Chains A and B, each alone.
Chain A
Amino acid sequence: MLRYTLKRLLVMLITLWIIITLTFVLMVSIPGSPFNSEQSSNETVQANLEKHYNLDKPYVVQYLLYIKSLATFDFGPSISQPNQTVNDLLGRGFPISFELGIVTIIVAVISGIILGILAALRHNGIIDYIAMGIAVLGISIPNFILATLLIQKLAVDWELLPVATWAGPEYMVLPVIALATGPMAIIARLTRSTMLDVLTQDYIKMARAKGLSPWKIIFKHALRNALMPVVTIMGTLLAGILTGTFVIEKIFAIPGMGKYFVESINHRDYPVIMGTTVFYSAFLIIMLFLVDIVYGLLDPRIKVHQKDGE
């Protein structure tokens, strides 16, 4: 296990380095500069700005400076918000995105699994159709439309909840619903189909024949196996939701880190592009690693430590 973990860590580091290098190459090869605003300007001002941010240096030097800043975990100042360092931006935005993301995941997983189980148990019954109807709606309604709709009905028309911003628990309800619906639908469908598959397996029949209580069959024997595909998608889902979502955070004016992924590229804010890319990649890689570990716990047939070759 230790050897496996170390090996995985090394691979993770190499993957990160490749991502960093690719990002850098892509970044400098797209046209434009961080100082192209619609405002007037002149050559002297532009030259001063480039010098200030080391953008007048050769690419190799810039690359080395980046690597150095990454190695020291100091991403430097943002260009579009010069008073803030990239560390400040991420340090402030990530906890908020994370908080929203965790609640979203919990809601999505619990409601998704329950919907899935209900649908599987009442296969082709009315409950199945209702549950799958909800799931299809959840997958097909884009979250930004759902968000606007929720605001219009629950906040503007019925005045039950605040429209937007981030000032307390009640501000979290609408964005969580908007964000959780999509993943909930995916999880519900996955759970339903694997559950259906599992319920026809011999060992379930065996358990029934043995006279085990129905809920023990479902939760102990069936669900545990039915959850494997859900765990598989959890890695990407977690990394995606926990690091913030651009659209939902924008609509609800949530000060998370979702916007930096998109805006840093629009602004050619190089330090922020690097910072967010590295942060997200590292997060995703770690999530995928954790998912592999969880596989082993859920299914004893998968033995992670034997993967590194016998």
Chain B
Amino acid sequence: MKKWILLLLAVVLALGLGACATSTDSGEGDNPKQTEDGKKDKKEGDKDDKGEKVLRLNNGTEPKSLDPSIGFDSVSWTPLNNLMEGLTRLDENSQPQAATAEKWDISEDGKTYTFYIREDAKWSNGDPVVAEDFVYAWKYMLDPDTASPAAFLAYFIEGAEEYNSGDGSVDDVKVSAKDEKTLEVVLTAPTGFFLDLLTNPAFFPINHKVAEDNPKWHAEADTFVSNGPFAFESWKHEEEMVFVKNEHYWDKDVVKLDKVHWAMVNDENTPYQMFVSGELDVTGIPAELSDELIDGDNVYIGDQGGLEFYRFNITKEPFQNKKIRQAFSYAVNRDEIAEFVVKNGVKPAYGFVSPGFIGPDGKDFREGNGDLVTFDPDKAKELLEEGMKEEGYDKLPEITLSYNTSDTNKAVAETVQNMLSEHLDVEVKLENQEWNVFSEAQMNLELQFSRSSFINDYSDPVNFLESFVTDSYMNRTGFSSKEYDELIKKGKTEVDEEKRWEYLQEAERMLADEMIAMPIRYYNIVALEADGVTGLLRHPVGYLDLKYADKN
């Protein structure tokens, strides 16, 4: 008798599972949106067979905003860089070239730029791109009510900082449309890298007619107007974006892709698994697989302008003493950290400014200034002894190294802890904090010795170096030197590029001598690319560019 109960239960189990399966199906069927999408996917698949070139990328997350003034991060600016185009665009050597602007004049004093916009530069709705679109976009970015996090990038324009801080008027911002296709910009000082700065998405134009009509034009695909290589086809928030080739783009003949599909998978391993199963064409390398994959033929490794470094807080003991700070820096072997701890092909940092900034003499800034810090345990010991004598320490005060919680940060901090213990016989305590708590404490100079990272916003050494001027928001070390401030000021305003470069190199040397921050390693970009994917442009400073990308 019991046996047939079991049999019955088995049948119920089977039915139950069947019911589940059907309920899954019917659940889906009840949702017309889902069905439609399913069909669309199939259609796309069909077109794929007909030879349409669709590049499948992962954007990680939903962009913060595709409003050029608001979305100040790489998940927003990477897609935006392919939808839009500024006056200039970076070429394959990461140099700014004429883009929406066909040509430009620069006045004798280097302060006034006159841009001539291409006759055939058009928006994806067919409107011509006019000078007023840039005036509108830049003034919108600087409006304090817009609260653009990127607004400070435009402070090189005369009147911009005053307007953004609420002290000045919009009319005093010196950017104007001379005529429909001519744009004039007056800068506060000759800025050698202004053409490069203009490739930054913050300086992209906004179709002022569309934006005046609908301020939320950038929030959905069907209202989005673009002027770059691609146009927005569809956008399912938090799910995917689809770009199509922009038929109104002035240089559309060089665009080879028909579509770009952006997934939003915010996980380290899943995108790699999608890449392996062919659902993505480009992806990053998960940390655990780095050793296995990094030497493959399909791996792209390139420089990224930026630095990971440790800040000394010179308002806290024992780091008020320069020699003690220097001793710490000499005791750290950066080669080992780069090669065995961070891995993924990163380069150790023996200076502050990352490689990739070419000076007026054609030489890289980094090469020109050489190695400013080295690994030298003997010298480190010597300096530590001297420093301790100067301060009258028998024993160093307790030192805590803080970092924001992450596996890599932890591994690097532990390595530095070991090196300090081994070479200096200094015991350092480690402490990790959640990012927000950590950065607030660092800003308020509550941390003694802490991790930091810097990613360039524009392609010039001054971008990093100016962080350390007196009272800068990014200073966070307590460092203040009139001499340094003066060098940076000159480094921003000098008309003679060679001299400007010299000032900046002197500033960097001073930073290394004062050792208020200890460089660890430079950042890089690592990507896996599927067979047949070519022409993706990545820049040390800038965003992924698909204009020349191809997939065969």
Q: Is B17 an interface residue (CB 8 A)?
A: yes
Please determine whether A155 and B6 come into contact, CB atoms closer than 8 angstroms.
no
**CB < 8 Å neighbour of A45 from B20, B152, B437:** B152
Most chain B beta-carbon contacts within 10 A, residue among A37, A163, A167? A163
Shortest Cβ distance from B58 into A: residue? A253
Most chain A beta-carbon contacts within 10 A, residue among B8, B279, B436, B455? B436
Q: Is A93 an interface residue (CB 8 A)?
A: yes
- A52-92 vs B, Cβ < 8 Å mask (1 yes, 0 no): 11000000000000000000000000001111100010001
Please determine whether A168 and B238 come into contact, CB atoms closer than 8 angstroms.
no
Please determine whether A169 and B28 come into contact, CB atoms closer than 8 angstroms.
yes
In the complex, how many angstroms separate the beta carbon of A77 from the nearest chain B beta carbon?
A: 11
- A167-183 vs B, Cβ < 8 Å mask (1 yes, 0 no): 11100110010000000
**Chain A neighbourhood of B453, CB < 8 A:** 38
**Chain B neighbourhood of A148, CB < 8 A:** 269
Q: Is B290 an interface residue (CB 8 A)?
A: no
**Chain B neighbourhood of A80, CB < 8 A:** 64
In the complex, how many angstroms separate the beta carbon of A121 from the nearest chain B beta carbon?
A: 7
Please count the residue pairs between chain A and chain B whose beta carbons lie under 8 angstroms apart in the complex: 202
**CB < 8 Å neighbour of A43 from B17, B150, B473:** B473
Please determine whether A253 and B64 come into contact, CB atoms closer than 8 angstroms.
no
Q: Is A111 an interface residue (CB 8 A)?
A: yes
Q: Is A114 an interface residue (CB 8 A)?
A: yes
Q: Is B370 an interface residue (CB 8 A)?
A: no
Shortest Cβ distance from B37 into A: residue? A167
In the complex, how many angstroms separate the beta carbon of A180 from the nearest chain B beta carbon?
A: 9
Please determine whether B28 and A33 come into contact, CB atoms closer than 8 angstroms.
no
Q: Is B457 an interface residue (CB 8 A)?
A: yes
Please determine whether A114 and B9 come into contact, CB atoms closer than 8 angstroms.
yes
In the complex, how many angstroms separate the beta carbon of A99 from the nearest chain B beta carbon?
A: 6
In the complex, how many angstroms separate the beta carbon of A174 from the nearest chain B beta carbon?
A: 11
Q: Is A201 an interface residue (CB 8 A)?
A: no
- Known A-B contacts A41-B152, A44-B165, A168-B41; the reply to A49 vs B440 at CB < 8 A is no
Task: Specify the main secondary structure of chain A where it touches its partner.
Answer: helix
* Interface residues in A, total, Cβ within 8 A: 71
In the complex, how many angstroms separate the beta carbon of B269 from the nearest chain A beta carbon?
A: 6
**Chain B neighbourhood of A30, CB < 8 A:** 436-437
* Interface residues in B, total, Cβ within 8 A: 79
In the complex, how many angstroms separate the beta carbon of B61 from the nearest chain A beta carbon?
A: 9
Report the Cα distance A252→B4, complex, angstroms: 41
Please determine whether A251 and B270 come into contact, CB atoms closer than 8 angstroms.
yes
**Chain B neighbourhood of A255, CB < 8 A:** 236-239, 264
Report the Cα distance A118→B3, complex, angstroms: 11
Please determine whether A166 and B239 come into contact, CB atoms closer than 8 angstroms.
yes
Report the Cα distance A168→B34, complex, angstroms: 6
- Known A-B contacts A43-B473, A51-B144, A83-B218; the reply to A152 vs B273 at CB < 8 A is yes
In the complex, how many angstroms separate the beta carbon of B51 from the nearest chain A beta carbon?
A: 23
Shortest Cβ distance from A43 into B: residue? B473
**CB < 8 Å neighbour of B474 from A32, A40, A215, A250:** A40
Please determine whether B27 and A163 come into contact, CB atoms closer than 8 angstroms.
no
- 11 A-B pairs whose Cβ atoms sit less than 8 Å apart in the complex: A37-B149, A39-B455, A45-B149, A82-B67, A103-B24, A106-B19, A106-B20, A164-B279, A168-B28, A173-B24, A266-B434
Across chains A and B, which 8 residue pairs bring their CB atoms closest together, nearest first? A32-B436, A52-B147, A255-B238, A253-B265, A168-B38, A110-B16, A83-B219, A169-B28
Q: Which residues of B contact A (CB under 8 A)?
A: 1-2, 4-6, 8-9, 12-13, 16-17, 19-20, 23-25, 27-28, 31, 34, 37-38, 41, 62, 64-67, 70, 72-73, 144-152, 161, 164-165, 216, 218-219, 236-240, 263-267, 269-270, 273-274, 276-277, 279, 434-437, 439-441, 453-455, 457, 463, 467, 472-474
